[in-house]
Amino acid sequence: GQNIDQPTEMTATEGAIVQINCTYQTSGFNGLFWYQQHAGEAPTFLSYNVLDGLEEKGRFSSFLSRSKGYSYLLLKELQMKDSASYLCAVLDSNYQLIWGAGTKLIIKP
């Protein structure tokens, strides 16, 4: 079966750095997405990785290792507004998006 694993919840301190991991087992791979979802709101796109390596976009970076079925989202200089759920999703061989359950990130002052 297809499976995406990410931690249920993480806590970090304002100004610090946090890494949210995602491992996946899917039938084929056409890219991995990270989305941010604030409580009560729809998800918003953060990043897309299809090749191995690190993609940096401001305070957020996303890494992919296809051989390991592994990705992480790195958030630097954490701000209180970064408190949200972070969803990992993989596009499989049929171009269907397989979603992780999301990681709830709690930022403390």
Partner 1 sequence: GAVVSQHPSWVICKSGTSVKIECRSLDFQATTMFWYRQFPKQSLMLMATSNEGSKATYEQGVEKDKFLINHASLTLSTLTVTSAHPEDSSFYICSARNQGDSGANVLTFGAGSRLTVL
- Chain residues in the site for partner 1 (CB under 8 A): 31, 33, 35, 40-45, 47-48, 50, 87, 95, 97, 99-102
Between 48 and 60, name the residue whose CB sits nearer to partner 1: 48
To partner 1, the closest distance from the beta carbon of 18 in angstroms equals: 20
How far is the C-alpha of 21 from the C-alpha of 27, rounded, in Å? 20
To partner 1, the closest distance from the beta carbon of 40 in angstroms equals: 8
How far is the C-alpha of 79 from the C-alpha of 109, rounded, in Å? 9
To partner 1, the closest distance from the beta carbon of 89 in angstroms equals: 8
Edge-to-edge strands of the sheet including 60-65? 3-5, 18-25, 70-75, 60-65, 53-57
